[in-house]
Structure 1
Amino acid sequence: MSDEAVSRRRAWLMAARPHTLPAGISPVVVGVGVAYALGVFAALPALAALVGALLIQIGANFANDYYDAVNGADTEDREGFTRVTQSGLIEAAEVKRAMYLTFLAATVVGCYLVYIGGLPIVVVGLASIAAGIAYTGGPFPFGYHGLGDVFVFLFFGVIAVVGTVYVQAAAYAPAFPLAPPPGTLPTAAFVASVGVACISTAILVVNNLRDMETDRETGKYTLAVYIGYTWSRVEYTGLLAVAYLVPLWFVANGFGYAVLLPWLSLALAVPVARTVCRYDDADHLDPALTRTGQTLALYSVLFAVGVAL
């Protein structure tokens, strides 16, 4: 392969942002663990949920790269990971086309999940794709108005975990229900989703802390821009604290002490929280962003194993 071809492959990999993919995988992992614990595990719906979640995550990353560039939010002064549209590594039109093709692929995968889960999955799937675009695109990009944290909490936490449990449970009910069949939306799924939602949102908090000054200058008003460094750090540590309290609900409701396994991931969470609370430069926050993603991945695997046991 020529250097140009290798460089192009690498550019597309950068655009997909593999360091963010734990936010797409982790809710499905937890949803599988909860479904197994409740006796409704179904392999094919779980696999389809995983593929669909990853495609939506990558599509949202393409959308973020494209819209931040064309809206002027990404500038040469921005610190952190390279954005391929702003840097000229890939033409804007190509990134936009890749965004739509990725969301189309997610829709194709979603057709199987719609057959299993019915109308509720149609609503959730379309809302997820629309939100992935509207995060930085459209007439009111809510990532530019302090609502990005809410978006991540809901779509990469609550909806993703509960949706994963739902499509597995719905596989045991008649095809294409118009409303959730009884027993397909268990309380345990909602509670488990809170832990994933909190750490997923914490990833965004680190990102927004790092970019706070350039975001403010370009008119991208994230929640971090509104509340400042101190309260953003309070938000980060608070999100982690809530995530590590979630397993206690499962212990109190008879799932056994194995569900405390996620506490082992505190070995990652505590050092990275110290870094986030002490530094605001990219040299420290870029690694903290990656390690928060690793914390989410480890927490989720341990949670899934613990709740299944």
Structure 2
Amino acid sequence: MTNKRTLADWFLATRPWSYPASTMPVALVLAYYFADGVAVDPVNAVWALVNIVIFHAAGNVWSDYFDFQYGVDNQNTLGVRQLVDGKFVAREFLWLAIFLFAAGTLCALFLVWRTGLPFLAVTFAGIAAALVYPPFKYRVGGDAVIFIAYTLTPLFATAWIVTGTWSLDAIWAVLPTGILTVGILHANNLRDAKTDTEAGIRTLASVLGKNGR
């Protein structure tokens, strides 16, 4: 029997409370250039924020799908439990992730049209980071992927749509939020270190243990 779900259930499946981790770097880069006197196109700015939220949602669902499939998320784990508790089936999460990746790509094509073909490069980099996160997470590399996805990718993407260059000028604006995001990830992984080890995966937190705090 299929559970009856609302639009709110589907929305919550994307973990919307985590969106500030991706929107803040974009907003900070936009603010940096605006304060520096650079003209910021409002349409591009809003579209960039929408775009990164869609890709963030896709990455969240993709990660949760693999965590469930590989037994990382189970009855003993905390956090997101839609799959564990049977609210959704794994197939639905997989298709939701694919839909969101497709929607994000279409959204990015609008920015490609407005800012130039090179924007595709950073789009593909962001998609690649989301896709490879699960296997890297299971082999100690998740923290590095998250730093790239939530620091360097939004930095270069936003710099491109504002200046038309791959500028590092705003790196100091986004570095604190990137480090904070990795810190939150590490704290969550430290909380889950026991169940992650039992599932056969090795995160940086489980390798370092409590002494690595």
Instruction: Give TM-score, length-normalised by structure 1.
Output: 0.64
User: What are the equivalent positions in structure 2 for 1:177-196 lying under 5 Å apart?
Assistant: 184-196=165-177
Local SS of the residue matching 1:203: helix
Q: Which amino acid aligns with 1:56?
A: F
The answer as to whether partners of 1:21 and 1:57 remain within 8 angstroms in 2 is yes
What is aligned with 1:200?
181
Deviation at residue 145 of structure 1 after TM alignment: 0.9
What is aligned with 2:44?
45
User: What are the equivalent positions in structure 2 for 1:92-103 lying under 5 Å apart?
Assistant: 92-103=90-101
- Which consecutive unaligned segments of at least 5 residues does structure 2 have? none
The answer as to whether partners of 2:40 and 2:162 remain within 8 angstroms in 1 is yes
The answer as to whether partners of 2:129 and 2:148 remain within 8 angstroms in 1 is no
- CA RMSD in angstroms, aligned pairs only: 1.7
1:118 aligns with 2:116: yes
Local SS of the residue matching 1:89: coil
The answer as to whether partners of 1:30 and 1:161 remain within 8 angstroms in 2 is no
Please point out which of 142, 153, 170 is paired with 2:136: 142
Give the % identical residues.
30
Q: How many residues align?
A: 210
What is aligned with 2:30?
32
Deviation at residue 192 of structure 1 after TM alignment: 1.9
Q: Deviations over 1:233-282 (max 9, x none)?
A: 2xxxxxxxxxxxxxxxxxxxxxxxxxxxxxxxxxxxxxxxxxxxxxxxxx
Local SS of the residue matching 2:202: coil
The answer as to whether partners of 1:162 and 1:193 remain within 8 angstroms in 2 is no
> What is the alpha-carbon distance in structure 2 between the residues aligned to residue 134 and residue 217 of structure 1?
22
In proportion to residue count, which structure has more helix? Answer: 1
The answer as to whether partners of 1:161 and 1:192 remain within 8 angstroms in 2 is no
Q: Which amino acid aligns with 1:194?
A: L
> What is the alpha-carbon distance in structure 1 between the residues aligned to residue 182 and residue 12 of structure 2?
21
> What is the alpha-carbon distance in structure 2 between the residues aligned to residue 83 and residue 120 of structure 1?
39
What is aligned with 1:221?
202
> What is the alpha-carbon distance in structure 1 between the residues aligned to residue 181 and residue 60 of structure 2?
15
> What is the alpha-carbon distance in structure 1 between the residues aligned to residue 95 and residue 168 of structure 2?
39
Q: Report the CA distance shift for 1:187/1:161 in structure 2 as closer, same or farther (over 3 A).
A: closer
Q: Which of the two has higher C-alpha Rg? A: 1
What is aligned with 2:74?
75
- Which consecutive unaligned segments of at least 5 residues does structure 1 have? 171-183, 234-309
Deviation at residue 8 of structure 1 after TM alignment: 3.9
User: What are the equivalent positions in structure 2 for 1:52-91 lying under 5 Å apart?
Assistant: 52-79=51-78, 81-91=79-89
> What is the alpha-carbon distance in structure 2 between the residues aligned to residue 26 and residue 189 of structure 1?
13
Q: Which amino acid aligns with 2:86?
A: G
Q: Deviations over 1:49-70 (max 9, x none)?
A: 1011000110011101111111
What is aligned with 1:155?
149
Deviation at residue 129 of structure 1 after TM alignment: 1.4
The answer as to whether partners of 1:209 and 1:229 remain within 8 angstroms in 2 is yes
